[in-house]
Chain A
Amino acid sequence: MTLAAVEAAGQLARPVYELSRVSKVYGERVVALESVDLTLREGEFHAVIGSSGCGKSTLLKIMAGLTPPSKGRVMLAGTPVLGARPDIGMMFQQATLFPWRTTLQNILLPIEVREGRAAAEAAAPRAKSLLELVGLKGFEATYPSQLSGGMAQRAAICRMLISEPNVLLLDEPFSALDEITRDFMNMELQRICRERNASAFLVTHSIAEAVILSDIVHVMSARPGRIVRSIAIDLPRPRTLDMGTLPRFGTYVSEIRELLDKGAFL
């Protein structure tokens, strides 16, 4: 369901993330983030887009509890974020699989770290079904060096999903992949989010990727990093790649491009 559709029905989904006045200052003078407010509701897909150095990765780290904000409040599922949380899953630009672990062992790493080796072993069947979900059946015992870039990122998706998080924080997860693989992976991501009614927060450089995936696109400007506009994307779900040819899609893309261009010259 898109945000607009939800609003029309008059029933807003439960908020998952609530950020108010979140700021981050490095040292004394470098303002990485200035007073960011945003609400991510259950099942929603948000993307944040902006030029490099606009603080979007800082925003993601604050949301994940990897670094504290200088000011402001971050609430996740009704409780304050004061450190790493088990109810979120993270993914980065690099797959970050460890070469001394098999694909299966890599996927079970979060369980092993949080609950021990026995729990990880018990979760192995679940990891195997996740591998099947992303089309990596039969690669359980393979070491990451034998996986292609796209396969490695799919294994990273499984690792993110193994602890059954309600929220996915994605830091340019597919930007290192070629465009054909990336489009495919984005559609996979949408399917996975819909199947689990998971909320997702995506940091990206690609306007098209942000529009095709998101319910809301937050456009950020740099120095100080702040959200200049949040644009609701009113396109039907599930999204398909050929929606990229719709005139409405083009309107969103040019609206965002214009905002980004303005930000770049300010």
Chain B
Amino acid sequence: MSQAAETSSAGLPADTVWAEKVSVTSNVPRWALMLGLLALFLGLWQGVTSSGIVSPLILPSPADTIRDIGFVGRNLSSGDYMLPALWITASEVVWGFVLALAIGVSLGVIVGETSFGERAVMPYIVAIDTMPKLAFAPLFVAWLGFGIMSKVALAAFISVFPIIVGTAAGLHAADENARMLFKSIGASRLQTLVKLKIPTGLPQFFTGLKIAAISVVSGAIAGEFLGGGAGFGELIRVAASQLDTPRVFSLIIYLSLLGLAMFGLVSWLQYRFVFWQRSTNSISANTSRTAV
């Protein structure tokens, strides 16, 4: 072959075009892939339930679940007993998040900005973070009662740590050169914080906030499981105790909408405020979720 190339171009192909290996799915639109996977999942689910291997009390069929989702939806939209329950859980989630945000940012600034905070406070925060936080639920009930407050406290307690870590890590994110530059132009500590460290740290802060936005819903529901109350967690508990599994599934799906709304709100705020990093797509949002 090399001989032919040396002597003349006769007998050689005009083009050496060859097909690159591409994954089969790369040309299919994303929505089609997602829809296909969902259909596959629902099909398998329906197959398992209609084959009779699993009792409908253990695993309801997708059809039953979807029917129940419709029922819960009608109940909510007509303002029946589920709407106040959703309202209670939503309040727990929102107040828990606000509380976690206030405490998390304050502690995060202390840990991230002061040498005392970094060296003396941070080890304790790490130590508490490693504790099984749900185990504190009975304590919150004992301190704050069976009302909404104990759930708010647990939700805040569970979601505060990613905010502290995100804030502190964000404040540390400015590199050596940027710090030197600020020092060389005579910036004060406050100026360095406001004009350098806070903007530099916003992406990491929002990553922590996204993790918190997801876990705050889990915290509120866990609080209701363990400390009574009248929210969606209680509805799930009651439905489960009555072996009404389709209801459990559909309530969980409505709860996930609450989590999704929180996550969406934080993502929107990030898009709005961290305008210089808008290229971050939903993939990175998902990777931050896997950190939970």
B-binding residues in A (CB < 8 A)? 61, 64-66, 83-86, 88, 90, 92-94, 96, 98-100, 109-110, 112-114, 143, 145, 163
Contact = CB atoms under 8 A, between A and B. Distances in A.
B188 to A, nearest CB: 8
10 contacts: A65-B184, A66-B184, A84-B184, A84-B185, A90-B184, A96-B181, A99-B276, A99-B277, A100-B199, A110-B185
Contacts of A61: 180
The B interface is mostly helix, strand or loop, or mixed, namely: helix
Given A84-B185, A84-B186, A98-B199, A113 B177 contact: no
Contact of B177 (A84, A94, A112): A94
Contacts, number: 53
B81 interface: no
Contact of B185 (A94, A100, A109, A145): A109
B178 A96 contact: yes
B184 A64 contact: yes
Contacts of A84: 183-186
Interface in B250-268: none
Nearest to B185: A110
Contact of A113 (B178, B185, B200): B185
B191 interface: yes
B143 interface: no
Given A98-B196, A100-B199, A113-B195, A92 B180 contact: yes
B187 interface: yes
A111 to B, nearest CB: 9
Interface residues of B, number: 19
A220 to B, nearest CB: 20
> Binding site of A, secondary structure by majority: helix, strand, loop or mixed?
loop
A123 to B, nearest CB: 13
Contacts of A113: 182, 185-187, 191, 195
B186 A100 contact: no
Contacts of A110: 185
B177 A96 contact: yes
Contacts of B181: 90, 92, 96
Contacts of B196: 98
Nearest to A60: B180
Contacts of B277: 99
A256 B4 CA distance: 53
